[in-house]
Amino acid sequence: MAGKSPPDGSHRHEPATKELPGMARDNRITLYDLQLASGCTISPFVWRSKYALAHKGFDIDIVPGGFTGIAERTGGRSERVPVIVDDGEWVLDSWKIAEYLDERYPERPMLFEGPSMQQLTKFLDAWLWQTAIGPWFRCYIQDYHDLSLPQDQAYVRHSRETMFLGGKTLEEVQAGREDRLPLVPPTLEPFRKLLRDTPWLGGDAPNFADYTALSVFLWTASVATTPPLTEDDPLRGWLDRGFDLHGGLGRHPGMHGLFGLQLREGDPEPFVRDGAGIEVAPVNRGTARSAEMAD
């Protein structure tokens, strides 16, 4: 996950079997979760599907679990989540889930308003993975491990160190994050500018573009034992509204605070304060210090 994590599911719809849970009744759809020891969701893909289901007005039956045992929980149908089961139909992959919900339930609030919104959402997703999740992943990777379920920690360490960190240890990669965390907020300025004159990416109401972007910050809040954003970050209004949506869906007690990053001498301004542009310049707070990236 140094860039973007593996796909969150294969693109298949399959009928459910009698041996497994998930037959939707009374406006309920089953969702297979990916949780930390606190019980909060860590997967940004699962967060997107949670919000998509709530957006459509469904009650969600959660099948809990961590990084290991997904194949067993789904009866061998998938090794990745999210997975939903709706009236016996299994749908895998967060994007496919969103498309399925719009196709099957067009009378309910739409997640996408046409193909242009789908393309915008895909672009925003790719940009945020490169801009935010990539750097933050390396800043919180040891916390990511420590907060996982005890039975998942060996898998998390081995898979992340071998697949994403080039053989470096979690501790080696996270070390020095106090130098790297202040470098991320300035890169989010185009996103702040996008939200400057609208409450949601979807306009007057949120849509799947909002949920996709929110999932980046929901993932971060699940592992951020030290805050990544300053208290006065202009993104706070949108983030607070997003976390509060659908009865406070993003307000799990296991989540950490996103705001409270303390800037030090020589750190760049976290955002443009005068609206004059999006260039980032160091603040004159004294002797500048060097900040080396972990990789």
Residue 48 lies in a domain: yes
**Are residues 76 and 191 located together in one domain of the fold?**
no
Whether residue 56 is predicted with pLDDT greater than 80 in this model: the reply is yes
Judgement on whether residues 100 and 130 belong to the same structural domain of the protein: no
Asked whether residue 110 is assigned to any structural domain, the reply reads no
The pLDDT assigned to 108 comes to: 96
Q: pLDDT tens digit string along 215-262?
A: 999 999 999 999 999 999 999 999 999 999 999 999 999 999 999 999
Are 232 and 125 members of one domain?
A: yes
Within a domain: 253: no
- Report the number of distinct structural domains present in the chain: 2
Same domain, 122 and 243: yes
pLDDT category at 114 given cuts 50, 70, 90 is: confident
**Residue 258 domain flag:** no
Any domain includes 49: yes
Instruction: Indicate if 100 and 138 belong to the same structural domain.
Output: no
Query: What are the Cα distances from residue 182, in Å, to 48, 92, 135, 186?
Result: 27, 36, 11, 8
Which of these three, 71, 104, 137, is where a domain ends?
104
- Provide the pLDDT for residue 186: 98
Same domain, 128 and 92: no
Distances (CA, A) of 207 to 42, 90, 108, 121, 204: 21, 23, 12, 10, 10
- Structure tokens of 115? 């193909």
Say yes or no: 171 and 56 in one domain.
no
Question: In this structure, what CATH number is given to the domain that contains residue 191?
Answer: 1.20.1050.10
Domain boundary among 225, 248, 271: 248
Asked, for residue 267, whether it belongs to a domain, the answer is no
Residue 7 domain-assigned (yes or no): no
Q: Are residues 182 and 261 in contact, defined by beta-carbon separation less than 8 angstroms? A: yes
Confidence of residue 109 (pLDDT cuts 50, 70, 90): very high
Of 92-101, 255-264, 274-283, the least confident: 274-283
Last residue of a domain, one of 80, 104, 128: 104
CATH number at residue 47: 3.40.30.10
Residues 51 and 122 in one domain: no
Residues 149 and 51 in one domain: no
For the chain, first and last CA: distance in Å?
13
- Which residue(s) pair with 83 in the sheet? 32, 92
Q: Percentage of the chain with pLDDT > 90? A: 82
- Residue 72 structural domain: 13-104
Mark whether 81 and 129 lie in a shared domain.
no
What pLDDT, on a 0 to 100 scale, did the predictor assign at position 124? 97
In a domain, 265, yes or no: no
- How far, in Å, CA of 119 to CA of 256, rounded? 31
- Same domain for 160 and 64: no
Q: Does the pTM exceed 0.75? A: yes
Strands, sheet with 89-92, edge to edge from the N-terminal-most edge strand: 13-15, 89-92, 83-86, 28-32, 59-63
Asked if residue 143 and residue 53 are part of one domain, the reply reads no
